[in-house]
Every structure is written in C-alpha cells, then in structure tokens.
Amino acid sequence: MGQDILHSQFSAEDVEHYQQKLHEELAIVTNWHTNQQRIVDENSELKIGVELEACLIDREFMPDPRAATLLNQLKHPQICPELANFNLEFNSTVHPLRHKAFANLHQELEQLLAYCQKQFNPAQICLHGILPTLNQQHTQLHNMAPLKRYQALNEQILLSRKGRELQLDIVGRDSLHLKQKNVMLESVTTSMQLHLQLPFHKAPRYYHSAILASAPLIAIAANSPFLFNKQLWHETRIPAFEQAIAAGGYNGAAFGPIKRAGFGEGYVKHSLLECFQENIAHYPVLLPDIQQTSARKLAHLLLHNGTIWRWNRPVIGFAPLRYHWRLEHRSLPSGPSLSDCIANAVFFYGLVQNLANSYTRYEQHIAFNDAKANFYQLAKLGLGGKMIWMNKQTRSVKQLILGEFLPMARDGLAQLEIDQQNIDYYLAIIQARCESGQTGAAWQIQKQQEYANMQDLLALYCENQNSGHPVHCWN
C-alpha cells in the first residue's frame, strides 16, 4: 500500500482483468520459488528497515491537520503522508543486520525527525500509538490525505460491507462503542513497522518466529491506553485498527470469521507462497487498479497483498536479478521515545533470530491458536498479563521476558554479530522497562489520574519524549 494508484473508480471488467493479472503474477512467483528451492543461501546477509509513523500536533497539543500540505512543500523522499492529514511517516534506508546496524538506524531516524521538526516548527512531531487528544470529529473525511488510494480504499471497504457502518466495540477498564461511515477511524493508530529480509530456505521459520514473538513484544512496547478519552487496552491500536477497516472474504464473509486485518489464520505448512495463494483464494480484490507494467514487477500481486493487513505480513521484495522474501512486523506502536522504538526493534530482531535458528522448533510446540490468544491477551493487559508457552504452561509475561526472552534475544543478536555495546545498551532499556513495569501505556495510565485533561497529559508526555530518555526513566 506504499504506492499510490491511478484510479479510484472501478468496473466489473477491471475486477476480472485484475484477477487475470493476479494469477499470471502468482505463476511467476511460484516458478521462482520452485526453481530456487535447491539454492542454499545460508550466508546471505539479513537486511532491515523501519517505517516510523508520527502525529503532527499544534501548540495546544491537538492534532494539526496540515501534514500533507507541509510534506508537499518539504518533498523529502523518506518522509511521506499517511491516511490522515495529521499523520506522517518516516522511512529508513536499508541497513545490513550486523555490527552497528541499530546505532546507525537510530542516528538516521533521529536526524530525519530533527530535520522535519525544524521545518514544521511551531507544530510538533509526536511519536505515539494513539494520540490521546483525538476526538471523533478529527477522524472524518475532511482530514483524509488527498491520495487516490485512500479515497478508493474507503469506497471499496464500504462496498464490501454492503453499506453497513464500520464500528468500534472495545472493552477495557472503560467501554467504547461507536459507528462511522468511513475508514478514517483507522487513522487514530500510529505504528512502527519493522522489515526483515529473509533467507530463502528459512523464510517459514522466521515467519513463525515473528508470530511467536508478537505477544511479548506487544506487552513490553504497549503505548496506546486511551482512545476518545476512554481507558481501554494497554495497546488499543490492535482492536482499533482491526475494527476500523473490518472487511472479510468472499460470499458475504465480510461479517464472518475471515478478516483482512488480524493475526492471520495459521502457520504456513511449506512456504510463504501459501499466504499469497490464500490472498487470492479468500479475499476479493479491493483496489482493481490496472498497472501498465511488466508482469515480472508483480504490481497487482503486491497491491492486493497490501490490502490484507496481517500483523506479520510476508512481502516479496526485489534485489538485482532476483526476488526475495521480506517480513513486515506491523504490531508495534510508535513511541514513547525514539530510544524506546529502537530498543523494541532490537528485542524483536534478536528474539526472532534466536527462535528461527534454535534446535527447538517452537512452532511445533506452541499451537497457532495459543500464539494468537497470547497476542490479544497481552495487547489488552500489557506486562500484567500471562501467556501460554512451552508445555502448555501459562506464565507471567514479565517472568518470561526477564528469564527467557531477553537471554534468547541477546544470543540472537550475538549470532548476527551485532556490536556488543549496541546489544547491552538497547536490551538494558527493555530489561529496565520490564523490571519497573513502566511501559508507555503504564506511565500514561498512572499520570492520567493526576491531570485534569488529555492536553495536559500529552504536554508532559511530549516534554519527556523530547528529553530523549526512554520511558522507564520518566518521572
């Protein structure tokens, strides 16, 4: 969904033509995958990248709907608009996953944020999972970024729902129930998406490892406890995103169990190719925008994949003369500080590397449904929750992070030959956050009791964020 599209109105002929393109491009990928199966690329270099979303706020700490206009003036290739005019996205370059990768990534994003902040002053850039000062009026079509793909996505999702309104129905400490006739509720969610180029022969194991790592990651990274002045989940982004663009599969399944946004339907049996086969078999085309490109560019297959929002989404990337598998991990929130963001990434990459290369095949011991239940349980409860792990034991996620997952991540990072100072610095942030219990969500819940309104809370949040200190150090 990164690229814009050419049209926003489609005919039945467009859909039929698009389906033909999908099958043609899937055949190309299937042929590539079959012919590459015997190639051993154990030493191929892993590479990473990050998409970091942010909110633009004014002096009163309210959403500032000028992001698209300001970005159009800025014209920076690594900074682009998002669904709402008060959101923007920072895209890192590709970094080889070795040595000082995370220090380099941190420095690059820090420079991008500082540059953008200088250009946009006095408006502020805020890294947050869900901006607590948002209200439903901000999530209307007048604040949608002026891109055809967003207009078309809005129309097509509503068509797939046969005109039924989208609704949020989230229960935490408080309850939120509301309906809306557009997809702009999705704009309340602001994320940090991690990309990992995968070794061909181990791609399924890395995919399964990311699925298993998702639950502890969402617990330690939670930063979205409030939406529309209601205290809901520790990471309210998860249900808010899924419900804000709720659409399903064929034959009236828009309201059934098959969802385009969610944790997925299971592990793969043999290869990530199964996800793309599932895309075509289960999900009707939302954006049948015909591209005048070579079939080998896979433009239609990738656009269709971009309208199916798995929290761990396989993607096909391009390198000179060949394709490669890439993973998008999409569940992490933005913030609370840039240091926290990078520490979350370090923990994720290290843990996934360890799980994927372990003698123990964890996916054979932990059922997919248990991994899925862990994810939603910990999105709701944060570090106060429990999860099902080996031997079907239910254990405290804090104990698992401190006793098992942090040592595993440390080992995985050592396998990747990450600089030892990087490992120690960023994993110390994860450890201190876990020991103190002070995630971004926990800090906000505590401070909200002391402040009269969300603007005051966000003002203190931004002051701490701008200090550069990770959240476990906030007062």
- Please give the Cα distance from 243 to 178 (Å, whole number): 11
- Please give the Cα distance from 277 to 17 (Å, whole number): 18
**Which stretches does DSSP call E strand in 14-135?**
47-57, 79-81, 87-91, 95-96, 124-126
Q: Are strands 175-180 and 47-57 parallel, antiparallel or unpaired?
A: unpaired
Domains and CATH numbers, the chain: 12-470 (3.30.590.20)
Cβ atoms of 423 and 318 within 8 Å: the answer is no
- Please give the Cα distance from 249 to 252 (Å, whole number): 7
Residue 29 zone, left/alpha/beta (φ > 0; ψ -120 to 50; rest) = alpha
Buried b (16+ CB within 10 A) or exposed e, 317-349: beeeeebbbbbbbbbbbbbbbbbbbbbbbbbbb
Residue with tokens 């617990």: 219
Per-residue tens of pLDDT for the chain, all 475 residues: 345 566 667 888 999 999 999 999 999 999 988 886 544 454 468 999 999 999 999 999 999 999 988 998 999 999 999 999 999 999 999 999 999 999 999 999 999 999 999 999 999 999 999 999 999 999 999 999 988 889 999 999 998 888 899 999 999 999 999 999 999 999 999 999 999 999 888 999 999 999 999 999 999 999 999 999 999 999 999 999 999 999 866 655 555 567 899 999 899 999 999 999 999 999 999 999 998 889 999 999 999 999 999 999 999 988 766 788 999 999 999 999 999 999 999 999 999 999 999 999 999 999 999 999 999 999 999 999 999 999 999 999 999 999 999 999 999 999 999 999 999 999 999 999 999 999 999 999 999 999 879 999 999 999 999 999 999 999 8
Q: Which two tokens stand for residue 177?
A: 């129930």
Q: Which two tokens stand for residue 186?
A: 């999705």
Structure confidence by residue, pLDDT tens digits, 346-403:
999 999 999 999 999 999 999 999 999 999 999 999 999 999 999 999 999 999 999 9
- Please give the Cα distance from 457 to 447 (Å, whole number): 7
